[in-house]
Structure 1
Amino acid sequence: MRAITWRGVNEIGVEDVPDPTILDPGDIVLEVGLSVTCGSDLHLMGGYIPAMRAGDVLGHEFMGTVAEVGPAVTRHRVGDRVVVVSFIGCGQCWYCRQGLWSLCDNGNPNPGMTEALWGQSIGGCFGYSHALGGYAGSHARYIRVPHADHGAFTIPDGVSDERALFASDAAPTGWTGADQAGVQAGDVVAVWGAGGVGQMAARKAMLMGAERVVVVDRLDNRLEQVRTHIGAETLDYEQVDVLAELREMTGGRGPDVCIEAVGMEAHGTGVQHVYDQVKQQLRLQSDRPTAVREAIHACRKGGTVFTLGVFGGLVDKFPLGAVMNKALTLRGAQQHGQRYVPEILDLMDSGEVRTEHLATHVMSLEQGPEGYRMFKEKEDGCVRAVFKPAG
């Protein structure tokens, strides 16, 4: 079958790869209907995530139709239309039972790599390097889904493929951030990043009763999507002083909750951004913490900062003194999607959550390299490139 693959740093290809098969009794094989690029894929392209190999199939946000089921699968049948959570959880370990699905003890068959990086291993993720399991990704005609009874969810008949697609990763990641940050009714919430994850974090904060939600970005088309489709306020950090504006909005205090949804390649302005960029390119630090720093400085005393953007290793000039002296709560997570997808699909079915606007460019698999280039360079207003394997 044809698939979009990682060929090297900033080199994406399309090639023939073996068809997947059932390897464990709890597996399904899914015929992929739609699969979409994600901002965290750009870290793979840039070579910032270790353990990628030439020929690895990319993609971790997807939906499709069940083509084959393993003998232990009880919740799915051939022909079911399902959306699959990007992180793989076994459903049996202590972490899965606590609802901390991305921390699964059994989802990653290569735990040594992340244990060396972070002290302990987290779960596995489709199409996201051998450090997170070496699983083939979703930018292909078919994909094997382990632990399918826990990670695949039947899509309601009234929810379109284009809407359900983003219940795989963008929406549950945003839900994870807002929920785990403890947004309360009446809070002011600031979100850095107006991509799919940032927009979904903003939407969840609004549904949780936040009084004001403000999204910070620099791209006009994404900020317009926030205003039109999410209903949140926006700030363009290239046009205004974000810290001053947020203080003005909150009577001088700052937001109650600040959610960072940008990650290790954050953009910024001024000398500090140039410093971060140079150090990252020289591999003197692995991640650029521009947005995290600003969120920490912006957050009110005693507030919460939550990191949703993907970070891989070490950052420089981290304002730990501000975290301690302002009595901030600092948290982060990969998505615990199995915990949130049922609610998200119900809200999609009722029309409370809409995501089709994120799919700005729909393409065939053969257009994969072009789609990734447009996505990386934000060309033609590309928010997400969506691939149709059968198209």
Structure 2
Amino acid sequence: MKALCWHGKGDVRVDNVPDPTILDPKDIIIQVTASGICGSDLHLYDGLMPTMEAGDIIGHEPMGIVVEVGSEVKKFRKGDRVVVPFVIACGCCFFCQKQLYSACDTTNPGADLAKVAKVAMGHAPAGLFGYSGLLGRYPGGQAEYLRVPHADVGPIKIESGLSDEQVVFLSDIFPTGYMAAENAGIEPGDTVAIWGCGPVGQFAIQCAWMFGAGRVIAIDRVPERLEMARTHGRAEILNFEEDEIHDRLIEMTGGRGPDRCIDAVGAEAHGTGSLDAVIDRAKQAINLSMDRPHVLRQAIMACRKAGTLSVPGVYIGLLDKIPFGALVNKGLTVKTGQTHVQRYLQPLLEKIERGEIDPSFVITHRIALEDAPDAYEKFRTKSDGCIKVVIKPGLPPERNLLAEQAVHEEPQLVAAPAGA
């Protein structure tokens, strides 16, 4: 099959690789019909994850058609249409029983790199699709086919006529935005400030309203992303290249600061003007640090006393110059974590089915698998108005579907890969 593989910093290629096979009776194999490129994929593309290997298949936002079913799978059969969460969870361990799926104890196996994860993080988190040796080295979903372990615990079946584009983001960014808003502890009427208007930020904006926010303030510098936040998200917007963000937030909230702050940026935050931001970039450039925590610092300082800071943005290693004294003395609550996707699949699917939200609004580019390397560069540089890319392996190469409307057709089942 064809798959998008990591070969080094700034180097992803469509390779011919072996077809996936059933390795455990709880597995299924899917034919991928749609797969997103995620902002956290850029951390791989930019060489920030130290445990990638040349040839690793990347991608963790897939959906598709079931083409092979393990002997112990009870929920699915061939031909079912499913969305696959990026988190791989067993459903049986201490954490899964508490619905803390991204903390699963069994899906990041006890290999050498899992031991490294324990050293780096204290404990190894759950395995993730397409995201380095630290997280299980599971082949990812930017490919024609994907093996899905623990199938009865992960995917959700799509039985309605909703298009792929309406449901594919249940795999990651819609639940991630929802959990970010939930973790923020939003109370009716709260002012919520959200740093980052990429795809996760856009869904955090939408979900902040679902939790009863009175105001949402969105912060970015990319005109297209700010405009999406303003029009689709009904947010007040700030451009950090034009505004002093801390001062403006304090001014906009009558001196108090936002009640809830969401860092939807993570490890590669941009900063303008501040010495800390300049030092962050310099240290990352010479491999002395994997993270640029400018937004995290800014959110801590801006958040009102006794407020809440929610961090869905991905951080990788050790962070410098975090104003922990401000965090403690202001009495802030901080909630973080990879998303417990399985917990949210059914209720969020129901929101889509009821017409409360159409997640496809965030898509700007629809591409063939063969065009993914170019799309990664567009996504990284935020050129060509690129906010969210969906890979459709069935499309012909070099077909630009930027302005095309979502296609509401049932995907066609093709033959299973050889050996599946």
Match of 2:76 in 1: 76
- Any idea what the Cα deviations from partners look like across 1:183-241, whole Å, max 9, x if unmatched? 22221111111011111112111101111111111111011111222222221111112
Q: Structure 2: give runs of 5+ residues left out of the alignment.
A: 396-420
Match of 2:310 in 1: 306
Which structure shows the bigger proportion of residues in helix conformation? 1
Question: Which one-letter code corresponds to 2:122 in the other structure?
Answer: G
1:160 Cα offset (Å): 1.3
**Which residue number in structure 1 is paired with residue 347 of structure 2?**
343
Equivalence map 1:159-174=2 (5 Å): 159-174=162-177
Pick from 209, 218, 222 the counterpart of residue 221 of structure 2.
218
Matched residues in 2 for 1:185 and 1:33: separation? 39
Which residue of the other structure, out of 172, 180, 184, is the alignment partner of 1:181? 184
Residue 378 (structure 1) aligned with residue 378 (structure 2): no
Query: Where does residue 236 of structure 1 map in the other structure?
Result: 239
Asked if 1:93 is matched to 2:96, the reply is no
Task: Please say if 1:196 is aligned against 2:184.
Answer: no
Structure 1 segment 1-391 matched on structure 2, within 5 A: 1-109=1-109, 110=111, 111-270=114-273, 271-391=275-395
Q: How many Å separate the matches in 1 of 2:235 and 2:28?
A: 39
Separation of aligned partners in 2, 1:89 and 1:347: 24
Offset at residue 156 of structure 1 (A): 4.3
Scaled by the length of structure 1, the TM-score of the pair is: 0.98
**What amino acid is the match of 1:196?**
P
d(CA) in 2 for partners of 1:235 and 1:113?
A: 40
More moved, 63-72 vs 238-247: 238-247
Between the aligned partners of 1:22 and 1:104, the Cα distance in structure 2 is 21
Gaps of 5+ in 1: none
- Given that 2:202 and 2:362 are in contact with CA atoms closer than 8 Å, whether structure 1 keeps it comes out as no
CA distance in 1, matches of 2:236, 2:74: 44
What amino acid is the match of 2:3?
A
Query: Cα–Cα, structure 1 residues 156 and 186, in superposed 2: closer, same or farther, change >3 Å?
Result: farther
Q: What is the letter of the counterpart of residue 45 of structure 2?
A: M
Question: What's the TM-score once normalised by structure 2's chain length?
Answer: 0.91
Aligned length: 391
Report SS of the residue matched to 1:157.
coil
Whole-Å separation in 2 of the counterparts to 1:230 and 1:359? 14
Q: Structure 1, residues 120-162: CA drift from partner, whole Å, max 9, x if none?
A: 0100100001110010011111000011111100124142101
Superposition RMSD on alpha carbons, in Å? 1.2
CA distance in 1, matches of 2:309, 2:132: 28
> Which moves more between the two structures, 225-234 or 169-178?
225-234
Secondary structure, counterpart of 1:383 in structure 2? coil
Q: Identity of counterpart residues, as a percentage? A: 49
